Structure 1
Amino acid sequence: MPTRTRHTTPDPDLGNPIRVATIRDLDPLSADRACFALRRQNEAADVPALTAALRALLPAPGTVATYSLEESVAAMRDLGMFLGSIKRHGPEPLDLVPEALPVLRELGSRTDMVPRDTVHHYCTWNPVGARQRMYTGDVQEAYLQESVRMVFPHLRDGLELAATLGDTDLADPKFVLLTDELTQHTETMVTAIDMVVANVGPEFFARVLRPYFEEIDVGDRVLLGPAAAQVPLWLIDLAIWAADHSDPGYQEFLSDSIPYSLRRWRDLYDRWVRTPSVVGRLVEAFGDDPAAAERRSPALRASTEALARLLRVLVVFRGRHLGIARKAYDADLRLYPVGSGGASVDLLRQIIDLTRAAARLARPSSGPAPHERRRAAG
């Protein structure tokens, strides 16, 4: 194999649309044919063939050091398809192919991500069309992957808007414009989940696809497989209300999920977990006398209404998600008690309740009395 010169990548943003398109086009392991054969091997539960294919795809020692950032992501994407497939049929993949461990660790280090594939590898950075990597080849799987693809750029832009919103004065006219733009991006989540409801059957997800997303042992770490929970809508929750209006269960879920995110998103988490949320700032701005606060700053009313629109969309999405989860994890259908990201149906229900409570706090004129709001905020 000819030696390649490592590309310099001063911008580590793996969510950049140009970089996403580049990663989709790449095939550094020459894995196109193997990834297509993987569908048939999974249908036959042919663990020896999957194991042989994973071993054959591993780059030679030293080759990973020549990969660009984009090539490293694409390599992890393709190796991950075989990791999840082998585990779906029973064995720990690195028990069968232990020589994969240093490769995974190096790829994880070079991409500043966990040393296995995530939902972003499986969906966002996955080629489309004839080269699409799929566990089953079923059109329902394709719809599930597309739902994440369509959300990813909107979520990326939405998180940057949330970052700007956190630095914007509540009475600044820009606050309403930013919040409404964030709401528009968030509405894409509702569109995507409606597409999943219409095209992906609960039984297919629960019994056919969900087993491919199991956790695996990677050295001394147990790492979750690709999971919808790794699409961090919860980061928007954190910025808007959850930084100071959450509960221990949701906080633990957030801290467990953040390692599977992109570096920029991990940085935002570290920032937002230590600062007041937008709802928290609004409660403080209205104080004990909302009417007096509005007289001093009439723009607060428009900001409150814009925030209410955003929270309404978040509640709608959470309701749709809960409906899917209830069906997929029904006791008569499920193979696993919790989602592939570690969230239970009970946690999803709690998140809806917390979001609704935050929405009530953000409506001072129609919500509880000021002293009750302050008690809830504490």
Structure 2
Amino acid sequence: MSHSFKRNFFWEQSLFVQVNQNLSIADLDPLEMDDFFRILPEYNQNGNVRKLVEALYKHLPYPDKLSGFNYEEAIAAMRDIGILLGSIKRHGHEPIDEVPELDYVLDILSEKTDLPPRDTLLHYSVWNPSGQRMRTYTHFEDEAGLIESVKMAMSPVVKAIYYLVELHNTDVDSEQFAEICHLADNSFKQMVQAIVFAMRKVDTGVFSKHLRFYYDPIKLYGRDYLGPGAVEMPVFIYDHLLWGADCDDEQYYAFQNTYVPYVLPQLRDIYYNYKGRESLSSKVQEALLHNKNSENVMKSAEALRNMFKTLVSFRMPHKRMAEDAYSKQSERATGSGGYSTGILGAIIKMMNDKRHELDCTMKLVGCLNTGNRIAG
């Protein structure tokens, strides 16, 4: 790999800074709630809404303190308030009805962080302390395993997304294209490792019967705001860049647009910048048709095809895990975002259709290794 090739990845330094910032946020306790979170699971087990509401009133920051929070402190404050929001909602109460002052506090924290006016998967995972300080709703070890699995995956997935942005700006007929594909694929493989970790650590029965309902939406400003959920992982942006940017399925775009507000602002920008543009899969197919005899293009196509294979190896077990969890759920059959597990099957079908198009184009130009056909 050439020196100039490495220099193109100007975003790597910002990702390094982001990881360190995540750790700094996890260390913070701006509302002085460390002691409270040791007993919160007991309050939830007993359904003690009165204690939950009392804790919110006790720890909500006064306007002067709130206005003085920097970005990191505002994130940590939203994280800790968010655990109480989910707890109160779990027991059948709207937090804003119980504590009207939340309206002002959540609005200010949202403005300071450029994120929704409640906690997200980011707050619950990468901004959540590890070990004894971890904020959890319950005493179940499965919940800690769930949080750790997301922590394992988040930074690698974001890194893989930035590699895909590089691919959009790299000539398919170059040695660099296949090299960047391999880098993106290796990063995304950590997402596969994370889902395997979650399958080992999180019992789907515990999730469906005890954890799931802490992630329900809350009502604020006349609309619903989603709670932390695995679907807020930016895998959908990875999909978007790889094969979905030029997909015209209305259900698919409605699904994506539901979750775009819950990811980091810079990832939102990537989503909107590439929406409606040529996907990488389409870009490679076009290059194959116009450069049939190029060895670089053929290597690029094979490398991109391997990325589909890795994506399948994540999406299929994730779908099985979700279906298993919700098959054990009697109270409702949809996720916290209002979607059933059927949307996962629909996404897999669209992904496989795009992969099949790539296969057909590779076969047409004579560069498909049929012995390495992707299962799907």
TM-score (normalizing by structure 1): 0.90
Query: What is the match of residue 216 of structure 1?
Result: 218
Q: Distance in 2 between matches of 1:238 and 1:154?
A: 17
> 1:305-349 CA distances to partner (integer Å, 9 max, x unpaired)?
10111001111111011101111111x534322122333211101
From 64, 67, 72, the counterpart of 1:65: 67
Residues 314 and 355 in structure 1, CA contact (< 8 A), matched pair in contact too: no
Coordinate RMSD, CA, aligned: 1.9
Query: Which residue pairs with 1:7 in the alignment?
Result: none
Amino acid of the structure 2 residue aligned with 1:357: D
Q: Show the counterpart of 1:294.
A: 292
Task: Tell me the CA shift for residue 15 of structure 1.
Answer: 7.4
Q: Structure 1 residues 71, 306: CA separation in 2 closer, same or farther (over 3 Å shift)?
A: same
Alignment of 1:1-378 (within 5 A): 16-245=18-247, 247-287=249-289, 293-295=291-293, 297-330=294-327, 332-363=328-359, 364-366=361-363
1:3 is matched with: none
Using a 3 Å threshold, how does the CA distance of structure 1 residues 367 and 90 change in structure 2: closer, same or farther?
A: farther
Instruction: Describe the shift of the 1:136–1:30 C-alpha distance in structure 2 as closer, same or farther (beyond 3 A).
Output: same
C-alpha distance 58-43 of structure 1, shift in aligned 2 (>3 A): same
Indicate if the aligned counterparts of 1:81 and 1:133 stay in contact, CA closer than 8 A: yes
Provide the secondary structure at the position in 2 that maps to 1:217. strand
In 2, the alpha carbon distance for the partners of 1:253 and 1:16 equals: 27
TM superposition shift of 1:196: 1.2
**What are the Cα deviations for residues 206-243 of structure 1, in whole angstroms up to 9, with x where unaligned?**
11000000000112231000010111101010001001
- Does the 8 Å contact 1:14/1:262 carry over to 2? no
1:281-310 deviations in whole A, cap 9, x for unaligned? Answer: 1222233xxxx7322x22111001101110
Unaligned runs of 5+ in 1: 1-10, 370-378
Q: 1:77-107 CA distances to partner (integer Å, 9 max, x unpaired)? A: 0000000000000000110001111000000
Partner AA of 1:189 in structure 2: M
Cα-to-partner distance string for 1:248-300 (whole Å, 9 max, x where unaligned)? 2111100111011110010001111132110111222233xxxx7322x2211
C-alpha distance in 2, partners of 1:236/1:101? 34
Structure 1 110/294 Cα, relative in aligned 2: closer, same or farther at 3 Å?
Answer: same
C-alpha displacement of 1:147: 0.5
**CA separation in 1, counterparts of 2:234 and 2:285?**
25
Contact 1:72 1:107 (C-alpha < 8 Å) held by counterparts: yes
Q: For 2:42 and 2:16, how far apart are their aligned partners in 1? A: 31
- 1:14 Cα deviation after fit: 11
Distance 1:306 1:186 in 2: 14
Q: Which range moved further: 334-343 or 241-250? A: 334-343
For each residue in 1:2-25, what CA deviation from the matched residue of structure 2 results, as whole angstroms up to 9, or x when unmatched? xxxxxxxxx998970111011000
Deviation string, structure 1 residues 126-175 (Cα, Å, up to 9, x no partner): 00111100000211001000010011110121111111111111111111
The Cα shift of 1:368 comes to 11
Q: For structure 1, which segment, 343-352 or 224-233, has the greater mean C-alpha deviation from structure 2 after superposition? A: 343-352
- More helix per residue: 1 or 2? 2
Q: Distance in 2 between matches of 1:255 and 1:368?
A: 36
Q: Is the 8 A contact 2:15 2:159 kept in 1?
A: no
Q: Which runs of 4+ in 1 moved over 6 A?
A: 11-15
In the TM superposition, what whole-angstrom CA distance separates every residue of 1:57-76 from its partner, at most 9, and x where no partner exists? 10012211101100000000
C-alpha contact (below 8 Å) 2:25/2:75 kept by paired residues: yes
Percent of matched pairs sharing the same residue: 34
Shift of 1:367: 6.7
Cα distance between partner residues in 2 of 1:343 and 1:250: 12
Deviates more, 1:42-51 or 1:237-246: 237-246
Query: Which deviates more, 343-352 or 318-327?
Result: 343-352
2: CA distance, partners of 1:30 / 1:143: 25
Give yes or no for contact 1:55–1:100 (8 Å, CA) kept in 2. no
- Would the aligned equivalents of 1:84 and 1:214 in 2 still touch at CA under 8 Å? yes
When residues 187 and 120 of structure 1 are mapped into structure 2, their CA distance, relative to the original with a 3 A threshold, is same
Paired with 2:63 and 2:102, the residues of 1 have a C-alpha distance of 11
Residues in 1 aligned to 2:79 and 2:239: alpha-carbon distance in whole angstroms? 28
Query: Take 2:309 and 2:264, find their aligned partners in 1: how far apart are those partners?
Result: 27
**d(CA) in 2 for partners of 1:343, 1:301:** 39
Aligned length: 353
